[in-house]
Structure 1
Amino acid sequence: MKFDPSCIQFRLTAGMVLASILGFGGMTAWSNFRMQHILIKGHKDNAVEIAERFGQDVAWMDKTMPSTKALEKVINYRSTADTVIWIRSPDGTLIAQSDTLEMGSWKQDGLAEELLELSPGHKLESIQIQDRTLIVCISPLDVNGNLLGDLFVIDDITQNQASFAAVTRDLTIGSIFVIGLSALVIAIYVRQSIKPVCKMNELAANVTPENLADTHLEFDRAPTEVRDLAKAFNMMLGRLSGAWEQQRRFVSDVSHELRTPLTLVHGYLQSTLRRCNTLTEPQREGLEIAASEADRTIRLLQDLLDLARADGGHMRFHIERVPLKEIILEIIEMSSYSSDRVKADIQMPGFEARADCNRLKQVLINLIDNAVKYSDADTVVTVRLKQEGEWAVIQICDRGRGIPTTDLTQIFEPFYRVDEDRCRTTGGTGLGLSIVKTLVEGMRGKIKVQSKPGEGSIFTVSLPT
């Protein structure tokens, strides 16, 4: 499937995936922030609680033992492997400290010595020392109204931070996986949802005059909007089919009705020109012009009638194996009466193809007539016959003025003529190539044209063998 950033599928998928990323990403970021805040706040509250109750504990223990012994007892009771406590007197003397400060994990890299050098003063904060994260709570220690010094409570939360980082990493990886899975599910869902629209587009692209009446959209399980659009599309197709059929019937009827009286008029004009010897020169010239225009109009009506029959499916073809060499030579011999510039270049003698003999002759006559008409009198028109795979190829080549590139895709349209030829001097009706295309395709063949202005044109007719 071709990537198109402006298509509905891409926009819907991208929008929903972006919303998922913002949702999951925002939730993950908020969860991380809240967990970090709760972790820090919990340890700070614990340190503050130890500091607030430390004096009360010492005062209670002081009743049964000496003050120094009471301080050491409370310190050891409140200390843990990750929490250390010490007391420093106002003059800077270390009064008591946790035994855990002498443990290897605290003595490593001089951590204990660096901590003992912290300056006193009321504070509660999270600090980084070396590669550890510590909660520091420093407050005055008052026992029974006596200021003993400053109480230092240090809580090592490095391990908790590492565990939190691992959880955050797992949560991020999980979010990325969920977002990726969601993107895949969303893409599949959106693709299935817009499939009726794609089918509608495909059917609309394949609508032709031949299948216009038979084309209908039916979406029973599609969304309501798509069903309404399909219904409106079917109504439009019905109106177009009716209009097309009416136009085709009108052209056929008019062509048929006008051809008979014009044929009679043309016959009377020709009879008058042949039998009447008393006509003046202006009268004879006028009658000849009238007869010529009547003949041209009759041919135009016949062409219109042929096109109408082809559009209506009423043109019959008698397909059989025909000898192409004999047909081409016969057509060239017929053309020699009006021009001796048509030559044959037959590379496959005795070659046959499946075609309607009479329709094929009509095609070749029209193409050769055009080649002679639109090329200089001193140039040769060549009719080639060759084989390409399972196709018999007939080419009519001229060295005329050629066809502009902008007109190549439209010259097979009814009444279309190159700008230089939009006049009656050449005698054409603008329907010849359209009829040629209709006849060739009716014989299940193909026709194409190659041309360059000033270099001539090559019309290629391919017929199945």
Structure 2
Amino acid sequence: MLPLRRQPSQVLPWLDIHSLRFRLTAGVVLASALTIGSVTAWLNWQLQQSLLASQQIAVTDLSQQFREDVTLYDTTMPTQAAVQKAIDQRAMGDTAIWVRTADEAMWAQSETLRMGSWQAAGITEFVQTLPPQPRVELVTVGDRSLALCVSTFDMAGQDLGALYVIKDVTQARQTYLAMMRHLVVISGSAVVVLAILIAVYVGRSLRPLKSLSQQVAGVTAEALDVTQLQLDQAPTEVTELALALDHTLECLAQSWTQQRRLLGDVSHELRTPLTLVQGYLQSTLRRCQTLTTDQRDGLETAAAEADRTIQILNDLLVLTRARMGHLQIGAAPIDVKPVLLAAVMQVDPAGDRIEADIQAAPLWVRGDANALQQVFVKLLENALNYSPPGTPVIVRAGRQADQAVVQVCDQGRGIPLAEQTAIFQPFYRVDVDRSRATGGTGLGLAIVHTLLTQMHGRIQVQSVPAVGSTFTVQLPLTQGE
């Protein structure tokens, strides 16, 4: 029995996780996704560092400019007034500046801290709790992002407290986040597009291998010696594989030819002496009247076995000649009805087992009368051998369109669905033990299929286990004589 083979998906073959196409595509796409993801993460980090550095530099520069303004105004007005004027000049809608003394008292501040939007966002409350330790950083208050610079503030060597500069960078951060979202979308889209392109490219690259697989799968025993694998613009590795397979097929063809020739020679050489032995046994049984009962039984058994062996050899010769192209089949117009009735009489001389129902006559087909009768005989013998005793076998003949149709129906054990296509192979037997009991060799249906193929006909089987089987023969109709 052949081992079971995994069948690929017919709906979405590219989703077959065991296929080379899927593995190559998945591997390359995964590597590309990791590369693009790494680049995206690096760009994200770079942009984040750039945003942080730029805002820190901005508030640091603003703090320095504020000090310069205070130094300039301090020559013409009191220090506190100079500080307040510098705050009013430098503070904008998104910037707040204030100075807090060493005892945490607010010495000067911008109007920004009194804005309703800043108070509602909790920024004003937040800045009141900031410690005076010098630092430059980005902080988050609610949904707002702030750049903060805290430094000591002194004038003329006098420590006035701590200078606080804060700038609302929420818009810049939102812009940065939008850029990140766009970057992620672009990266994801790039991965998807790249996956599609890679899948298409891998599929095209594997076409020669798929073509090679299909050609090898279509090789039959009869076509071994004429099979030549054809590949166009295939990669070097696939071409080398094709050459190796060609060599293997050539060796198989030689072995198959030698096997068929040996089988034909052996069958032919054995048939002649067996025919002589059979004739001698039949002559002895007819002419010798002094045989005891045991002797006659023994000779009758020997004659029957010789006849059976000759029939097997004849079947082997037919198969061998057909596969070697040496089988000669006539192509004369013949009427199916007399051939079928002759086969029925040959198989069932008593006429108590086979019921014939010929619905249309004449049915002219083109072929060989002896070969066609052999087809019907083997189908009828097969039906009788595998039917329970006393059950009838029904034979129908009729016309369907341009075909002559003959059906042989039995009420036997039936044939499992999985084996219905294999029964026409030589030596194949569904039930080995029962075939031995009925004398079956597994050649009958193979002979039927071979002879019908030579006459441009075909045979089909419909069977239900424990119910029975129906073998249908179809032959093209032709003009009668």
Pairwise TM-score range, normalised by the shorter structure: 0.7 to 0.9
Compute the TM-score of the two structures, normalised by the length of structure 1.
0.88
Equivalent residues of 1:120, 1:150 under 8 A apart: no
Match of 2:223, SS? coil
Render the CA deviation track for 1:31-67: whole Å, top value 9, x for unaligned.
1232112202321243245446755664465355532
The reply to whether residue 215 of structure 1 matches residue 227 of structure 2 is yes
C-alpha distance in structure 1 between counterparts of 2:331 and 2:21, whole Å: 47
| Cα distance, 1:199 vs structure 2 | 0.8
C-alpha distance in structure 2 between counterparts of 1:390 and 1:83, whole Å: 97
Render the CA deviation track for 1:403-425: whole Å, top value 9, x for unaligned.
466654443332333233343x5
Mark the CA change 1:112 to 1:275 in structure 2 (over 3 Å): closer, same or farther.
closer
Equivalent residues of 1:86, 1:94 under 8 A apart: yes
Relative to structure 2, which stretch is displaced further, 229-238 or 279-288? Answer: 279-288
Compute the TM-score of the two structures, normalised by the length of structure 2.
0.85
Partner of 2:432: 419
Q: Percent identity?
A: 45
Equivalent residues of 1:56, 1:143 under 8 A apart: no
2:11 to 2, 8, 19: 2
Render the CA deviation track for 1:120-176: whole Å, top value 9, x for unaligned.
421443223343211122233122331112211101111111221222222222222
Relative to structure 2, which stretch is displaced further, 88-97 or 155-164? Answer: 88-97
The unaligned stretches of length 5 or more in structure 1 are none
Match of 2:11, SS? coil
* Residues 75-154 of structure 1: pairs in structure 2 closer than 5 A: 75=87, 78-98=90-110, 109=120, 113-114=124-125, 117-122=128-133, 123-154=135-166
The reply to whether residue 384 of structure 1 matches residue 396 of structure 2 is yes
| Cα distance, 1:355 vs structure 2 | 4.5
1:460 to 472, 475, 480: 472
Relative to structure 2, which stretch is displaced further, 235-244 or 221-230? Answer: 221-230
Equivalent residues of 2:113, 2:119 under 8 A apart: no
2:255 to 225, 230, 243: 243
Relative to structure 2, which stretch is displaced further, 387-396 or 53-62? Answer: 53-62
Mark the CA change 1:300 to 1:18 in structure 2 (over 3 Å): closer, same or farther.
same
C-alpha distance in structure 1 between counterparts of 2:180 and 2:54, whole Å: 18
Tell me how large the CA RMSD over aligned residues is: 3.0
Partner of 1:176: 188
Equivalent residues of 1:89, 1:95 under 8 A apart: yes
The reply to whether residue 451 of structure 1 matches residue 451 of structure 2 is no
| Cα distance, 1:22 vs structure 2 | 2.3
Partner of 1:31: 43
The reply to whether residue 324 of structure 1 matches residue 333 of structure 2 is no
Q: How many residues align?
A: 463
The reply to whether residue 314 of structure 1 matches residue 326 of structure 2 is yes
Mark the CA change 1:320 to 1:279 in structure 2 (over 3 Å): closer, same or farther.
closer
Relative to structure 2, which stretch is displaced further, 199-208 or 210-219? Answer: 210-219
Partner of 2:377: 365
Partner of 2:6: none
The amino acid that maps onto 2:29 is: V
| Cα distance, 1:451 vs structure 2 | 3.5
Match of 1:234, SS? helix
Equivalent residues of 1:212, 1:241 under 8 A apart: yes
Render the CA deviation track for 1:1-41: whole Å, top value 9, x for unaligned.
53223212122222222222222223223312321122023
Render the CA deviation track for 1:416-436: whole Å, top value 9, x for unaligned.
33233343x534443112111
Equivalent residues of 2:321, 2:327 under 8 A apart: yes
Equivalent residues of 1:266, 1:295 under 8 A apart: yes
C-alpha distance in structure 1 between counterparts of 2:312 and 2:346, whole Å: 22
Relative to structure 2, which stretch is displaced further, 392-401 or 235-244? Answer: 392-401
C-alpha distance in structure 1 between counterparts of 2:401 and 2:51, whole Å: 80
Match of 2:224, SS? coil
Match of 1:212, SS? helix
Match of 2:355, SS? strand
Mark the CA change 1:456 to 1:39 in structure 2 (over 3 Å): closer, same or farther.
same
* Residues 168-317 of structure 1: pairs in structure 2 closer than 5 A: 168-219=180-231, 221-317=233-329
